[in-house]
Amino acid sequence: MSLNTNTWNRLRYTLYLPVYDLIADRIFRKYRKRSVELLAAKPTDAILILGAGTGLDLPYLKGYTNLTAIDITPGMISKLKQRADELGMPVHAQVMNGQQLDFADNSLDAVILHLILAVIPDPVACIKEVERVLKPGGTAMVFDKFLPDGQQPSILRRLFNQLASTLFSDINRSIGSIVSHTSLKVELNEPAALGGAFRVIRMCKPAENVA
């Protein structure tokens, strides 16, 4: 039985909180910045940071005035609010399940998903929710680790993933497989950290999709 549940994620990220920034910021900050740059949003766009953690994306979103940040872990949201205050940024932050978004259909201009699709228990449910809340023509930016589309994990990788998915994140997820359950179109998929094991991906909700 998989330990990758919202309850387990809430517990483990509460435990990781004291060292989370040290690990998640130093290694990945330039890719967070790159992803936000590729988003190319307007300052007033309604932007959701899904799985926002402690708010490590906020320094790259200065000047944006309609930001919402959610995370499953209360401790992360508390730290994010503190960071937003220190930066003088208006951010509506709340605890929320990324698989069940409490937003109206077609209500957001953009969604940022940094290091969440490989962590969240059901990435397909998450990306379907992203599709639902995005306005037609809206953009989703993803930064995460993925198995190359069409590649099957080796036996050793599958075995290691039992530990990795319990302690950190799933290393065998495919972005193509996840996105295939939606109408979202991948516009850009570029290599990032660890020789391209991590990717920066921009997706768009087709303008004609108003369902």
pLDDT at 35 over 70: yes
- Decide if 1 is inside a domain: no
Confidence bin at 8 (pLDDT 50/70/90): confident
Contact, 132 vs 67, CB < 8 A? no
Number of domains in the chain: 1
Question: What letters, b where the CB count within 10 A reaches 16 and e where it falls short, cover 73-95?
Answer: bebbbebbbebbeeeebebebee
Q: Which two tokens stand for residue 115?
A: 């290091």
- pLDDT tens, residue by residue, 40-79: 999 999 999 999 999 999 999 999 999 999 999 999 999 9
The CATH number covering residue 127 comes to 3.40.50.150
Q: What is the pLDDT of residue 16?
A: 76
What percent of the chain has a predicted confidence (pLDDT) above 90?
A: 71
Q: List the domain range (segments joined by +) for residue 124.
A: 6-204
Cα separation values, 126 from 25, 34, 103, 131, 140, Å? 23, 23, 13, 9, 12
